[in-house]
A and B are shown apart, each in its own frame.
Chain A
Amino acid sequence: MIDVIRLMLALFFALFMALPVTAPARAGGDAAGGEARFKDCAACHKLEPGINNVGPSLHAIFTRKAGELADFRYSPAMKRSGIVWTAETLDKFLSDPQGMVPGNRMPYAGMASADDRANLITYLQNATK
């Protein structure tokens, strides 16, 4: 029963997270914690340049515009999004990928915890250089 309540809460939050109300990304997350959270991404995304699997390589992501790599088949939604990847935009995207870019191809429901996202972004800021 507890899990049912948890599920309902998750649904409730998922609905409201879709509204354009996002907390600013927290600076200075914990990179070690972020490396652990990167497991959520690693089945599809590589950090090395030029290796596109199910998802595009994340190398140098903080210098890129969304949908920019020539050899990855992005969704039209992602190409049109106009997003420039920064700590803030990535935080918003990871909190609810379909909410921010409806119709994008990434099959990931989102990372609910702001702390987890902050840690992950801190990790990526170094690991994608």
Chain B
Amino acid sequence: MTTKLGEVDVVIVGLGWTGGILAKELTEAGLKVVALERGAPRSSENDYSLPNIRDELRYVVRHDLMQNTARDTITVRNNPKQEALPMRRLGSFLPGEVVGGSGVHWSGHTWRWTDMEFKIRSNYEERYGRKFIPDDMTIQDWGITYAELEPYYDKFEYTAAVSGKAGNIAGQILAGGNPFEAPRVRDYPLPPLTPILASEMFTNAARNAGYHPFPRPSANASQPYTNPDGAQFGGCQYCGYCQRFGCEANAKGSPHMTVIPIAMRNPNFELRTHSWVTKVLKDSDGKRVTGVTYTNVLNGEEFEQPATIVLLCAYAINNVHLMLLSGIGTPYDPVDQKGVVGKNYCYQTGASATLFFEGKYFNPFMNAGGSNATIDDFNINWTFDRAPHNFVGGYNVSGGFNTPLPIGYRPVPSGTPQWGSEWKRATAKWYQTAMVINASGSVMANRHNCFDLDPTYRNAFGQPLMRMTFDYQSNEHRMGVHAAGVVNEIAKSMNPTKLNPATARTEPWTVVPYQSTHNTGGTIMGTNPRDSVLNKYLQSWDCHNLFVVGANAFPHNSSYNPTGPVGALAYWTADAIKNRYVKNPGPLVQA
């Protein structure tokens, strides 16, 4: 039996960065907001402090902050000829499932994606001609511009305490920052993190090679900070437990210690945890949504929560899943290329080298989530000519560390046995002496990479699992070859005692090991309902009172971490709802 609750103005599905930002902004605008989070309530005070943290078994092996695959997971295949099988254990990516979502366990890397992404098809066609883009590469312009998003990037950076060095303020290129970044109105709220030995060595080598290294912008507060909303940050203690952990020093910009507690203090806001949304409900003519149904996972009770506006703010994959389960929009069919829901799923790729320096001590246990120096010379640098290398997209290269786990991180030179006394000797010898240079690459949309509902497997609620069909294409293989070349060139110039060189990824993608939690697409944004699910305000073309906020809206994936535009788009959508939609409900863009 489903209990029907009283109607509210807004129901938010999932309370991470996007849900938290929208909850804060819309309650402040006077709307009654209910957030439904399927995970547990967690706080810095009770959960992200000793002795509950710095625990690799709990957080890394048992995925304490992540989605529970025994209840819901996805099925996976590389291509339509294969039978998709359920991913029974998390590996390649780690969706968060707590109050704060993946914003609790992220590293904090915060980038501004530019018009190189937002106008990708126009840019490449203009410079290289239509034929340069392969027929099956379904990239498209996003329908939004960097100039529109700039104030919202700024707002997110100041909310999340991003430490960094501007490379371009209002067109003036500044030494030490990223010279290729799009112009920003002002600098980051905090100076860069203290560099570590590995990032300094990389910086020197990259500069000597003629590249343009800069400290990676990260929401790891380099000093104590109070954000514009009054949330207080401690300075990063370089404790080494960043990615996959909540921050014990309140130094990592996370929704559970910024936007969410501010919303919680507002009487317009109510949070219901352990609340699993199973469906978005449509009215009889299908032009509006009327609310959601959800199950209290602690006792099995079912509820209907009617709402004037529905915001899907869950993990990107789960937002798409809910759209498919709810029958909103036309599901994408890769064979006849009709429909849009599920289209353009993208991931990321990379190539990485491990360098061993006898006599150096890198102290890998002591760093921040963003203790990296980075070069963008092969990424958002449009003077880098892609034609001779024949790929679309780009990659950034970084040197340093991001949470090398004291137990899990065991660098040894290639050729070392994988177990036994020789391995023990090697891991003791080389642990302190290794550093990593890593290339992170974009993945372009392809007509065969997509989501749909699995015909066989079901979740704990009896609903079809999401099916992911994905593999890297030759475009990514060609880029990987180039990236591995650059990584190895820099690595060799540093004269390591031993080098495990980078190699281009050519084997099919698999769900193990961990690669990147940067899954994008599925309900993409665009300029018209034929090519996209959402308009530029992340509003559904089909149901105007439904907004789907997150990386699910990205039409392709860049080499950057996605949280910068995810946060900026949440603020952008909040403004569109507060200032326009509420006054005059209806499509914000005419189809």
Contacts and interface: CB of A to CB of B under 8 A. Distances in A.
A39 interface: yes
Contact of B239 (A7, A43, A44, A107): A107
A18 interface: no
Contacts of A4: 197, 200
Interface string A21-61: 00000000000000000011111100000001110000000
A49 B224 CA distance: 22
B50 interface: yes
Contacts of A105: 49-51
A105 B248 CA distance: 9
Contact of A1 (B51, B200, B232, B237): B200
Interface string B31-56: 00000000000001100011100000
Nearest to B235: A40
A75 B50 contact: yes
Interface residues on B, range: 20 to 34
B233 interface: yes
A40 B50 contact: no
Contacts of B233: 43
Given A1-B200, A42-B224, A43-B224, A54 B250 contact: yes
Interface of B is mostly: loop
Contacts of B226: 39, 42
Interface in B247-295: 248-251
B194 A43 contact: no
Nearest to B44: A54
Interface residues of A, number: 18
Interface string B283-315: 000000000000000000000000000000000
A7 B238 CA distance: 12
A52 B234 contact: no
B237 A3 contact: no
Given A1-B200, A39-B224, A105-B49, A44 B250 contact: yes
B50 A107 contact: yes
B249 A107 contact: yes
A75 to B, nearest CB: 7
A80 B232 CA distance: 30
Nearest to A108: B237
Interface in B208-264: 223-224, 226, 232-235, 237-239, 248-251
Nearest to B54: A107
Nearest to B241: A107
B577 to A, nearest CB: 31
Chain A interface, DSSP helix/strand/loop, else mixed: loop
Contacts of B250: 43-44, 54
Contacts of A107: 49-50, 234, 237, 239, 248-249
B195 interface: yes
Interface string B352-374: 00000000000000000000000
Contacts of A42: 224, 226, 232, 234
Nearest to A10: B194
B234 A40 contact: yes
A52 B45 contact: yes
Interface string A56-88: 000000000000000000010000000000000
A40 B224 contact: yes
Contacts of A1: 200
A39 B235 CA distance: 9
Given A3-B195, A54-B44, A43 B49 contact: no
B49 A3 contact: no
B248 A53 contact: no
Interface in B142-193: none
Interface string B193-207: 011010010000000
Pick the most buried of A42, A54, A75: most chain B CB atoms within 10 A of its CB.
A54
Given A3-B194, A3-B195, A4-B197, A43 B249 contact: yes
Q: List 4 A-B pairs, minimum CB-CB distance, nearest first.
A: A43-B234, A39-B224, A43-B250, A105-B50
Interface of B: 44-45, 49-51, 194-195, 197, 200, 223-224, 226, 232-235, 237-239, 248-251
Interface of A: 1, 3-4, 7, 39-44, 52-54, 75, 105, 107-109
6 contacts: A1-B200, A40-B235, A42-B226, A44-B249, A54-B248, A105-B49
Given A43-B250, A108-B234, A108-B237, 4 more contacts: A43-B232, A43-B249, A105-B51, A108-B249
